[in-house]
C-alpha cells in the first residue's frame, strides 16, 4: 500500500527500550493521536510480587498521522524510527488497531498467547461476547477454537480462546 503525503494512516514507531509510556505521553502532549496498548502482569522478585503495567507490544507505539508529520514525530525524545516494509513506511490497518482496542479493554491479557507459527483457517468476525467486533483467523489448536489476531506489519500474532458459537465466518 502506497503512502500518500497528506493521507492519515496508522503507523508503528519504534521507541527506545522501555520508553514506550514516556514516548506515548510526549506524543499526546505534542497534539498527536497516539495509541499504546498496555497490559498488567505480575512480576516476581525474591522478596515480593508486584503488578506492573507493560506494553502489549514492546518497543512500539502506534500513531494515526500523515507522512508529513513524521519529522515532528521523529524529533520527539525516545522515538527511534518508523517501521518500514520494503523501504517504505508500513501502514497498520485500522482493523488491526481496533482489534487491539477491543482486546485490551475486554479480556484478561494473562490468557493471551503469542505465537510465530503460520496457521490456515477461516476468516471470522466475533458477533457476541466480550470480543464482539473483532475479526481474525479461526484456528483449531489441541481441540480448542482460537482467534488469531495479527498485526501483519509487525509480524506479531496473538491467540485467544473463543467459543465457536460466538463467531461468524466472513466470506
Sketch the domain layout of the chain as residue ranges: 9-92, 98-169
Looking up cell 458477533, which residue turns up? 127
Question: How many helical (H) and strand (E) elements, i.e. helices and strands, does the chain have?
Answer: 3, 15
How big is the chain, counted in residues? 171
Q: How confident is the model at residue 20 (pLDDT cuts 50, 70, 90)?
A: very high
* CATH top-level class of 9-92: alpha beta
Task: Look at residue 1 and tell me whether its pLDDT is greater than 70.
Answer: no
Q: How confident is the model at residue 86 (pLDDT cuts 50, 70, 90)?
A: very high
Q: What is the pTM of this model?
A: 0.91
Distances (CA, A) of 39 to 3, 35, 123, 137, 161: 31, 13, 26, 22, 17
CATH 2.30.30.30 fits 98-169, yes or no: yes
Distance of CA 26 to the CA centre of its chain: 19
- Give the chain's mean pLDDT: 92
Cα–Cα distance measured from residue 25 to residue 61, given in angstroms and rounded to the nearest whole number: 11
Tell me: the pLDDT tens digits for 108-165? 777 788 898 888 889 999 999 999 999 999 999 888 899 999 999 999 999 999 999 9
Cα–Cα distance measured from residue 57 to residue 36, given in angstroms and rounded to the nearest whole number: 8
Output the pLDDT for position 111: 77
Task: Look at residue 167 and tell me whether its pLDDT is greater than 90.
Answer: yes
Question: Are 9-92 and 98-169 the same fold in CATH?
Answer: no
Cα–Cα distance measured from residue 58 to residue 1, given in angstroms and rounded to the nearest whole number: 25
H or E stretch covering 9: strand 9-15
Output the pLDDT for position 32: 96
H or E stretch covering 138: strand 135-141
The residues pairing with 14 across neighbouring beta strands, listed in sequence order, are 60, 81
Q: How confident is the model at residue 102 (pLDDT cuts 50, 70, 90)?
A: very high
Looking up cell 521507541, which residue turns up? 15
Amino acid at each position: 500500500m502506497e503512502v500518500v503525503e497528506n493521507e492519515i494512516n496508522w503507523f508503528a514507531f519504534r521507541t527506545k527500550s522501555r520508553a514506550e509510556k514516556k514516548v506515548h505521553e510526549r506524543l499526546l502532549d505534542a497534539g498527536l493521536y497516539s495509541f499504546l496498548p498496555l497490559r498488567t502482569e505480575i512480576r516476581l522478585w525474591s522478596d515480593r510480587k508486584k503488578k506492573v503495567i507493560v506494553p502489549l507490544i514492546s518497543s512500539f507505539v502506534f500513531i494515526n498521522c500523515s507522512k508529513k508529520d513524521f519529522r515532528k514525530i521523529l524529533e520527539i525524545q525516545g522515538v527511534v524510527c518508523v517501521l518500514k516494509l520494503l523501504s517504505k513506511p508500513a501502514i497498520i490497518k485500522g482493523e488491526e488497531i481496533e482489534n487491539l482496542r477491543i482486546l485490551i479493554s475486554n479480556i484478561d491479557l494473562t490468557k493471551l498467547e503469542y505465537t510465530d507459527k503460520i496457521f490456515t483457517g477461516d476468516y471470522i468476525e466475533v458477533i457476541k461476547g466480550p470480543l464482539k467486533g473483532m475479526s481474525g483467523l479461526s484456528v483449531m489448536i489441541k481441540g480448542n477454537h482460537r482467534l488469531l489476531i495479527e498485526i501483519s506489519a509487525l509480524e506479531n500474532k496473538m491467540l485467544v480462546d473463543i467459543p465457536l458459537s460466538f463467531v461468524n465466518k466472513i466470506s
